[in-house]
Every structure is written in C-alpha cells, then in structure tokens.
A and B are shown apart, each in its own frame.
Chain A
Amino acid sequence: MGIEWTDFVTALEQTLTMVGFSLCFSAIIGLPLGMALVVTRKGHILENALVFNVLSTIVNIIRSVPFIILVIAIIPFTRLIVGTSIGTSAAIVPMVLSAAPYISRLVENAVLEVDTGVIEAAQAMGATEWQIIVRFLLPEALPALVLGLTIATIGLVGESAMAGTVGGGGIGDLAITYGYEQYDYHVMFVTVVILILLVQFIQTLGNLISRRIRRR
C-alpha cells in the first residue's frame, strides 16, 4: 500500500483545519468562561459563589474525562451538531469540548496574574465591571493569554491525532495507521518530523506574538 506526498499534504491540511477551527471555537467559549471563573470568585468584582461553583465543577468534570473517551461518549451530541459522527468536522466537536475548559483554566491563571492594584485603580477611577474586564484585565493579561493559547494549540495538535478514531484524518492519524499499525517506519518518521516542526512553529509564533504585545 503506497503513500504519496499528496497524502501528507492532505493530512497536514486536515490537521490544520481541525486545530484551527477547534482553537477558534474553544477560545470563543474558553475566554469568557475563564474570565467568569475569575470575576465571580470570592472578593472579586462580580463575586457570585453559585455561578463560580457551578462553572468550576463543570470545567473540572469535563477536564477529568480522558479525551478518547470523550470522543466516543459524545458521538450522539456530535451528530446533533454537525450532522455526522465521522470526518474532520466530527472530530472538531470533541476537540472543542475538551479544549474549551482547558483554555478557561489557562485564561483564569493569566487573568489572576494581573496585579490587584490595577483593579483597585480601575475602581477608584469609576470604571464599571465591564470596563474593568475589557479595558484593564484583558489588556494586562494579554501577553500571558497568548502564551496560554499557544499551549492549548499544541495540546490540540496532540488531540487531533487521536481524532483519527472518528475518521478525522490528519498527520497524527497518518502516523498511527501507517506507523503504529503497519510498521511503516518511514511514514512514521516523516509524520513525526512534520509534527515536531508544527509544534515548534506554533510555540515560536506564540512567543513572538506574546513578546510583541508585552513590549510594543
């Protein structure tokens, strides 16, 4: 069973599609979720024990389910959302579901790092809660947020490999089918190199952007 270079290109495209889309969606969910985990905690600007505990528990529950089990467990849900339970788009659903809570924790950490003095200054100048979040917490946390999203993106590259289980395709899937199941070490070697380069690229890009924001 031969393999062409175009197969690698297709696989890379699939990986980038899965990672790109799931990063987008999980950031859209994870960012507000992480911010909510910060501002509703005790002593913070929108303290609300109920909201905080509910959100935190949900995040913990999803985070504790191994990804591969999540993929299978939510197949009905996936079918509901994208109309199918196999293929690249079907892989994106569990990836988002697993990455969003993860990102929310990274966001939470990044925002908690912001000096509480900055919040005080904001309050002292008469800022609303919304202004504090958007004009103070977000910009101050941004460099750390970018680094957090970089970590999450690399995590998604790893998850995309396992998404092969539901026919998502991608580089990781190639490595597993050819390398792991058929002992084709050449293919495995090439895919691993591609993955290393991809991860390297993402990390470098993330560092670069974070540094740019930190010191414009």
Chain B
Amino acid sequence: MITFENVTKTYHNGKQIVHALNGIDLTIERGEIFGVVGFSGAGKSSLLRCVNLLERPTTGRVLVEGQDITQFSKAELRQHRRRVGMVFQHFNLLNSKTVFANVAEPLVIAKVPNAEIRKRVMELLEFVGLADKANHYPDQLSGGQKQRVGIARALATRPSILLCDEATSALDPQTTSAILSLLKTINREYRITILLVTHEMSVIREICDKVAVMERGKVIESGSVFDVFSNPQSDITKNFVNSVMHTKIPESVQRLLSEPEGGNRRVYQLVFVGASATQPVLFQAAKKFNLDINILFGNITELQGVPFGHLLVEFRGPEREINRALTYVREAQVDIQEAVGYGH
C-alpha cells in the first residue's frame, strides 16, 4: 500500500544541515494500523509527511498503491492528497469557520455539489458524535471535540489512507483513549489504512498492528506490535516497551536477588501470552519435578486484545530437575529468557 524506498530527507537551515531521514525502507500493508514511535526529532513527522508530500524526499521513492508519488504532476498530487487524510496534533482547524464548514472544506475544494456536501458532512459529524455541534466554532469545543472535527475533515473525501501526526499528544489520557478507539473503528469499519506517528508507546500498544521504532532518521526495529513488545532488540526499543509494560525489575527485587543464598537457584524471565495458561503450567512443573517455584515479580497487560505478561520466576532445586522443568514449561509455548545477572 505504502512503500518507502531508501528515502532520505535533508533540511537546510541556513548553514546548518539536518539529516531528518537517513535511508528509510518500510512497507505498510493495506488495512493495517501502522505506528511509528520515536523520540522527538527522530524524524517521524518528516517520514509521515512524505506520504502526502508535505515534505518531498531528498532522495528515494515513495510508492502508494504502486505509484511513485514523487513523480506526480501538481494536479496529480492534489488528487493524491484527496485520497490521503491527515490528522494533526494541534488540529489545524479554521477558527473563522463553523464545525460544519471545517468538515465541508475538503469537499468544497474538490468542487463537490452542495447537496452532496451537506449529506456527507452530516454523516461524518454523526459518525464522530458531533452532529449537535455543526454550527459551533472551534473555540467553543474541547480538545477532544476539536480532534473529532479534524478526523471528520480528514475523512471527508473518503481517503484510503489516514495519516496521524501525534493526533492524541495534546489530549488528556481519557480523551486519548476515546480518540484512539475512534481511529480503530475507522480502520475496522472503513478499511482505511492508518499510519500514525507518536512518541508515546501506549498509543502503539493500544491500537497498532505493526510498529517501527525510529532513531536519528532510521528505522531501527520494526515488526508486529506483538513481536516487538515481547522481544525488543535494541535498547531504545526496550526502553519504549518498558515505559508501558513495566518489565523492568524493581530495585527491591534486584537487591533480593543479589543476596547470596544456599542451594541451587536460577531466575528466569517468562514471557507468556494468555494469562490463564501460565500459572497452572508453572505449578504443574513445580509438582512434577519437585522444585520450589517463587514468583518474584510479574506484570500483565493486553496487547491487541490478548493478555500478555512477564513473570520473573525463581526455581530452586537440583540443576537437572530445573532443566527438565524448563523444557516442560517451554512446551506450553512460554518464552523463557534467563534473567541476566541473577544466575545460580
């Protein structure tokens, strides 16, 4: 659906040169919610804006539905932009126009007949839950309501792609949830591909199917949200995952672990999916191999609707039995990683 081929973007700020994108290769499939996460300045917005050419790549190609959009004429680009909706962090509504007129604007620009505009706008306002606010002005709305107007406006021309640049970053947590679930509805009901960028990993966890982590203009890690969350590779990704998953072992537990103890003892990090399955497996293993099992720390969250968790587990007993228990647990599809630094 959207393919970045070795895309670079360089800004010239007077004498200063900023390499915002350093060779991006990325594919976003039709119908998915693809999230890009990274710190401020990583190049997320630059990447997003290459999809509707608000920023033109310095080199490389951006293919949308197989077409190289960098080769489009001005008129073709305008047509293309009607197929790509955009939602902004600060909404970017026209304060001089009513909610209705704001949502109608893309249609007016596309010279859609008035009667049709009326119908479409009311339908959209109904969909985002603001039908009663049609004649209000943006400054009479809350942040969440403004973003709903922004989303309705972005959907006016029935785009196949929706770009969201920090769409919830100016909103409080509750409003954020509501807007995210609205985006999810849009994705599921209208089959609109959503590309969103954010600095908040919680947004990725909440609605994305796939994620790419950006740092200094590069994608350093990407994959399904599930894979990246359960098995982050780079330090930055681990930090992002930790920020929402709390997989980091608390210091009090770490201190406990570093104390010398008698007997053979091993500590493992278990990553599991579907909370119900794990604990019985652990206790069965304990019984079967006659081990002491101690859950030191644990955390469970939901990823794409599936419970997903980490357990820090201490096994005490003969080495051979521990190994047999681990094999047994692995067979139950639990991923086991040795908790580094806490062996024996």
**Contacts of A136 on B, CB cut-off 8 Å?**
94
> B52, B96, B139: which contacts A142 (Cβ < 8 A)?
B96
Q: Is the CB of B54 within 8 A of A125?
A: no
Taking a contact as CB atoms under 8 Å apart, the answer to whether A126 and B86 are in contact is no
Question: Chain B 102-123 against A: per-residue CB contact (8 Å), 1 yes, 0 no?
Answer: 0001101110000000000000
B86→A124 contact, CB < 8 A: yes
Instruction: Name the A residues within 8 Å of B96 (CB-CB).
Output: 139-140, 142-143, 213-214
**A60 near B: Cβ within 8 Å?**
no
Contacts of B157 in A (CB 8 A): 125-126
Within 8 A of A (CB), among B59-99: 77-82, 84-86, 88, 90-97
- Chain B proximity mask over A172-216: 1 for CB below 8 Å, otherwise 0: 000000000000000000000000000000000000000001111
Report the minimum CB–CB distance from A135 to chain B (whole Å). 7
On whether the beta carbons of A124 and B94 are closer than 8 Å, the reply is no
Q: Return chain B residues, CB-CB under 8 Å to A117.
A: 88, 90-92
Interface residues of A in 141-188 (CB under 8 A from B): 142-143
Contact residues, A85-119 vs B (CB, 8 A): 115, 117-118
Q: Quick check: is A72 within 8 A (CB to CB) of the other chain?
A: no
Q: B54 to chain A: which residues have CB within 8 Å?
A: 120, 123-124
**Residue A125 contacts which of B93, B95, B97, B106 (CB distance < 8 angstroms)?**
B106
Q: Does B283 contact A (CB under 8 A)?
A: no
Whether B39 sits at the interface, judged by CB under 8 Å, is no
Give chain A residues whose Cβ lies under 8 Å from the Cβ of B93: 118, 121
Chain A residue contacts of B109, Cβ below 8 A: 122, 125-128, 131, 135
Which of A115, A126, A143, A215 touches B92 (beta carbons < 8 Å)?
Answer: A115
- Residues in B with CB closer than 8 Å to A124 are 52, 54, 81, 84-86, 163
Neighbouring B residues of A213 by C-beta, 8 Å: 96
Query: Given that A135-B105, A135-B109 are known contacts, is A123 also in contact with B81, CB under 8 Å in the complex?
Result: yes
Nearest CB on B from A41, distance (A): 15
CA distance A121 to B81 in the complex (A): 11
**Assembled-state Cα–Cα distance A70/B90 (Å):** 47
With a cutoff of 8 Å between Cβ atoms, the chain A residues found around residue B82 in the complex are 125-126
Query: What are the residues of chain B within 8 A of A142 when measuring CB–CB?
Result: 96
Determine the distance from Cα of A214 to Cα of B54 in the docked complex, in whole angstroms. Answer: 29
Name B81's contact: one of A118, A126, A140, A143 (CB within 8 Å).
A126
B55 CB to closest chain A CB (Å) equals 10
- Chain A residues with CB below 8 A from B84, complex form: 124
Contact of B78 among A126, A214, A215, A216 (CB under 8 A): A126
Are B79 and A125 within 8 A (Cβ)? no
Contacts of A122 in B (CB 8 A): 109
Whether A140 touches B92, Cβ cut-off 8 Å, given contacts A124-B52, A125-B105, is no
Chain B residues with CB under 8 A of A125: 81-82, 86, 105-106, 109, 153, 156-157
Interface string of A48-69 (1 = CB under 8 A from B): 0000000000000000000000
Measured between beta carbons, the chain B residues less than 8 angstroms from A121 are 86, 88, 92-93, 153
Q: Is B328 located at the chain interface by the 8 A CB criterion?
A: no
Task: Indicate whether B137 reaches chain A with its CB closer than 8 angstroms.
Answer: yes
Given the complex of chains A and B, what is the CA–CA distance between A124 and B49 in angstroms? 9
Whether the pair A139, B90 counts as a contact (CB closer than 8 A) is no
A120 lies within 8 A of B95 (CB): no
- Chain A residues whose CB sits within 8 angstroms of the CB of B110 once the complex forms: 126
A65 to chain B, nearest CB (A): 33
Min Cβ gap B54→A in Å is 6
B78 pairs with A128, CB closer than 8 A: yes
**Nearest CB in chain A to that of B163: its residue:** A124
When chains A and B are docked, how far (Å) is the Cα of A47 from the Cα of B198?
31
Most B Cβ at <10 Å: residue of A124, A128, A216: A124
B97: which of A123, A139, A215 is its contact (CB, 8 Å)? A139
Q: Which residue of chain A has the shortest Cβ distance to B90 in the bound complex?
A: A117
Q: Which residues of B contact A214 (CB under 8 A)?
A: 96
A159 to chain B, nearest CB (A): 31
| B78–A120 touching, CB < 8 Å | no
> A118 with B86: in contact, given A126-B109, A127-B109 (CB under 8 Å)?
no
Q: Is there contact, CB below 8 Å, between B88 and A120?
A: yes
**Cα–Cα, bound, A128→B106 (Å):** 11
| A44 nearest CB across to chain B (Å) | 14
Q: List residues of chain A with CB within 8 A of the CB of B105.
A: 125, 135
A43 and B40 CA atoms in complex are apart in Å by 23
Tell me the nearest residue of chain B to A129, going by C-beta: B74
A125-B82, A139-B94 given; name 20 further pairs at CB < 8 Å. Answer: A115-B90, A115-B92, A117-B88, A117-B90, A117-B92, A118-B93, A121-B153, A123-B81, A124-B84, A126-B77, A126-B79, A126-B82, A126-B109, A127-B78, A136-B94, A139-B97, A140-B94, A214-B96, A215-B139, A216-B137
A-to-B contact residues, CB < 8 Å: 115, 117-118, 120-128, 131, 135-136, 139-140, 142-143, 213-216
Top 3 A-B pairs ranked by shortest CB distance?
Answer: A117-B92, A126-B81, A126-B78
Interface residues of B (CB under 8 A from A): 52, 54, 77-82, 84-86, 88, 90-97, 105-106, 108-110, 137, 139, 153, 156-157, 163
